[in-house]
Structure 1
Amino acid sequence: MKYFNFLIFFLVLGLCKTNAQEVENTKVVKDTTLVISKDAKSNKKKDKEFSIEDYKIISYQRDTTTFDTTLTIYKEYKYNYLRKDDFELLPFANVGQTYNILGAETTQKGFYPRMGEEAKYNNYMEVEDISYYRVPTPTTELFYKTVMEQGQILDAMITLNTSPRLNMSIAYKGMRSLGKYQHILSSTGNFRFTTNYQTKNGKYQLRAHYASQDILNEENGGLAVPEQFTSGDDEFIDRSRIDVKFDDAENFLLGKRYFLDHQYYLFKEQDSLKNYGLAIGHQLNYETKTYEFRQDAANAYFGEAYQAADLNDRAKFKSFNNQLNLNYRSKIVGDVTFLVNFYKYNYYFNSVVVTPNQTITNQLRDNEISVGGKWKKQIGGFFLNADFTQNIVGDMGGTVLNAQMGYQLTNDISVDASLHASSRMPNYNFLLYQSDYKNYNWQYTDTFEKQKISTLQGTATHKKWGSLSVAYTIRDKYAYFEEQLMEGDSVSVEDDVQLVSPIQFGGSINSMKVKFSNDLHFLRRWGLANTIMYQNVSQSENILNVPDIVTRNTLYYSNHLFKKALYLQVGVTAKYFTEYYMNSYSPVLGELLIQDREEIGGFPLFDLFINAKVRRTRIYLKAEHFNTIFTSEYNYYSAPNNPYRDFIVRFGVVWNFFS
Structure 2
Amino acid sequence: MLRRIIIVLFFITYHLTAYSQFGRGFGTNNGNNNNRDNFGFDTVSTPRSNKDISVDSLRKQLDAKKDSVVYTAKFIKYSKLEFLQDSTILFPLDTTTTNFQHFNPLNDPHSPTMNLGVMGMAYRPMLFEPRQSIGFDLGRHFFDRYIEGPMDVKYYQARARYTELYYISPFGGKQEEKFHALHSQNIKPNWNVGAKYAKQGSQGYYAGQISDILNASIWNWYESKNKRYTLLASATFNTIKSNENGSILNDSIFTVPTYVQPIYEQTRLYDSRQRNNARHDVRNNTIFIRQFFNIGKQSVVNNEEVLPTQRVSYTFSYNTQKYYFRYGRPDESGLLKNYYIYQDSTSDSTRLNHLRNEFNYSFYLRGKRLSFLKNELKINAGLVQDYYNYREYTYSRNFQNLTLKGNLTYGLNQRANLNLKLEQVFQGPYAGDFLYQANSEIKLSNNVGSVFLGAYSQNQSPALIYEIETSNHHRWNLNFDRTKTQNLSFAYVNPKFHLKAKAEYFLIGNYMYFTEINNDIYPAQFGSNINLLKLTFGKDFHFGKFTFENYLVYQKTDFESVLRTPEFYSFHSLYMHQDVFKVLKMEFGFDAKYFSQYTANAYAPAIGQFYNKDNTQFGTGPIVDAWMRTNWKRANLFLRYDYLNKGLFSKGYYTIDRYPMPYSLLRFGLSWNFYD
- Normalising by the smaller structure, the TM-score range is 0.7 to 0.9
Deviations 1:307-342 (A, max 9, x none): 332311101111111111111122145221111111
Question: For 2:606 and 2:499, how far apart are their aligned partners in 1?
Answer: 43
Question: For 1:575 and 1:138, how far apart are their aligned partners in 2?
Answer: 40
Q: CA deviation at 1:83?
A: 9.1
- Are the structure 2 counterparts of residues 87 and 571 from structure 1 closer, same or farther at C-alpha, using a change threshold of 3 Å? farther
- Alignment partner of 2:465: what SS? helix
Deviates more, 1:49-58 or 1:199-208: 49-58
Q: Which residue of the partner structure matches residue 490 of structure 2? A: 458
Matched, 1:260 2:283: no
Q: Which residue of the partner structure matches residue 243 of structure 2? A: 218
Counterpart mapping for 1:387-466 below 5 A: 387-396=421-430, 398-412=433-447, 413-437=449-473, 440-444=474-478, 447-463=479-495, 464-466=497-499
Matched, 1:339 2:382: yes
Q: Which residue of the partner structure matches residue 280 of structure 1? A: 312
TM-score (norm 1): 0.84
- Alignment partner of 2:142: what SS? helix
Matched, 1:204 2:222: no
Contact 1:326-1:337 within 8 A present in 2 as well: yes
Counterpart mapping for 1:242-257 below 5 A: 242-247=265-270, 248-257=277-286
Counterpart mapping for 1:159-178 below 5 A: 159-178=184-203
Deviations 1:22-70 (A, max 9, x none): xxxxxxxxx996698xxxxx99626446674552221221154221111
Q: Which residue of the partner structure matches residue 22 of structure 2? A: none
Matched, 1:636 2:647: no
Question: For 1:467 and 1:593, how far apart are their aligned partners in 2?
Answer: 33
Question: For 2:144 and 2:161, how far apart are their aligned partners in 1?
Answer: 31
Question: For 1:366 and 1:537, how far apart are their aligned partners in 2?
Answer: 37
Matched, 1:600 2:618: yes
Matched, 1:482 2:515: yes
1:526 corresponds to which of 543, 546, 549:
546
- Alignment partner of 1:595: what SS? strand
Q: Which amino acid aligns with 2:670?
A: V
Deviations 1:378-417 (A, max 9, x none): 3311233322111110132511122221122222412212
Q: Which residue of the partner structure matches residue 364 of structure 1? A: 397
Q: CA deviation at 1:538?
A: 2.0
Q: Which residue of the partner structure matches residue 672 of structure 2? A: 655
- Are the structure 2 counterparts of residues 500 and 102 from structure 1 closer, same or farther at C-alpha, using a change threshold of 3 Å? same
- Are the structure 2 counterparts of residues 56 and 419 from structure 1 closer, same or farther at C-alpha, using a change threshold of 3 Å? farther
Q: CA deviation at 1:484?
A: 4.7
Q: CA deviation at 1:512?
A: 1.0
Deviations 1:334-377 (A, max 9, x none): 221111111111221132xxxxxxxxxx0232111111211234
Contact 1:556-1:572 within 8 A present in 2 as well: yes
Q: Which amino acid aligns with 1:157?
A: L
Q: Which residue of the partner structure matches residue 28 of structure 1? A: none
Q: CA deviation at 1:142?
A: 2.1
Q: Which amino acid aligns with 1:302?
A: L
1:310 corresponds to which of 333, 345, 350:
345
Question: For 2:220 and 2:382, how far apart are their aligned partners in 1?
Answer: 24
Contact 2:117-2:659 within 8 A present in 1 as well: yes
Unaligned runs of 5+ in 1: 1-30, 37-41, 352-361, 487-498
Q: Which residue of the partner structure matches residue 294 of structure 1? A: 326
- Alignment partner of 2:335: what SS? helix
Question: For 1:314 and 1:172, how far apart are their aligned partners in 2?
Answer: 27
Matched, 1:70 2:106: no
TM-score (norm 2): 0.82
Question: For 2:192 and 2:279, how far apart are their aligned partners in 1?
Answer: 39
Q: CA deviation at 1:481?
A: 1.3
Q: Which amino acid aligns with 1:457?
A: S
1:374 corresponds to which of 381, 393, 407:
407
RMSD: 2.5
Contact 2:460-2:482 within 8 A present in 1 as well: yes
Question: For 1:370 and 1:266, how far apart are their aligned partners in 2?
Answer: 25
Q: Which amino acid aligns with 1:338?
A: A
Q: CA deviation at 1:656?
A: 2.1
Matched, 1:60 2:81: yes
Contact 2:149-2:236 within 8 A present in 1 as well: no
Question: For 1:278 and 1:434, how far apart are their aligned partners in 2?
Answer: 49
- Alignment partner of 1:429: what SS? helix
- Size of the aligned set, in residue pairs, is 586
Q: Which amino acid aligns with 1:363?
A: S
Q: CA deviation at 1:469?
A: 0.9
Deviations 1:551-604 (A, max 9, x none): 111221111112x11111111111111110122222111122223420111332
Q: CA deviation at 1:103?
A: 0.7
Matched, 1:349 2:392: yes
Contact 1:93-1:644 within 8 A present in 2 as well: yes
- Are the structure 2 counterparts of residues 170 and 373 from structure 1 closer, same or farther at C-alpha, using a change threshold of 3 Å? same
- Are the structure 2 counterparts of residues 548 and 84 from structure 1 closer, same or farther at C-alpha, using a change threshold of 3 Å? closer
Q: Which residue of the partner structure matches residue 208 of structure 2? A: 183
Q: Which residue of the partner structure matches residue 383 of structure 1? A: 417
Question: For 2:106 and 2:242, how far apart are their aligned partners in 1?
Answer: 16
Q: Which amino acid aligns with 2:665?
A: I
Question: For 1:203 and 1:504, how far apart are their aligned partners in 2?
Answer: 50
- Once the two structures are aligned, what percentage of the paired residues are identical? 22
Question: For 1:615 and 1:120, how far apart are their aligned partners in 2?
Answer: 36
Q: Which residue of the partner structure matches residue 544 of structure 1? A: 563
Deviates more, 1:247-256 or 1:587-596: 587-596
Q: Which residue of the partner structure matches residue 326 of structure 1? A: 361
Q: Which amino acid aligns with 2:128?
A: A
- Are the structure 2 counterparts of residues 479 and 277 from structure 1 closer, same or farther at C-alpha, using a change threshold of 3 Å? same
- Are the structure 2 counterparts of residues 46 and 649 from structure 1 closer, same or farther at C-alpha, using a change threshold of 3 Å? closer
Question: For 2:344 and 2:555, how far apart are their aligned partners in 1?
Answer: 45
Q: Which amino acid aligns with 1:400?
A: L
Contact 2:176-2:204 within 8 A present in 1 as well: no
- Alignment partner of 1:88: what SS? strand
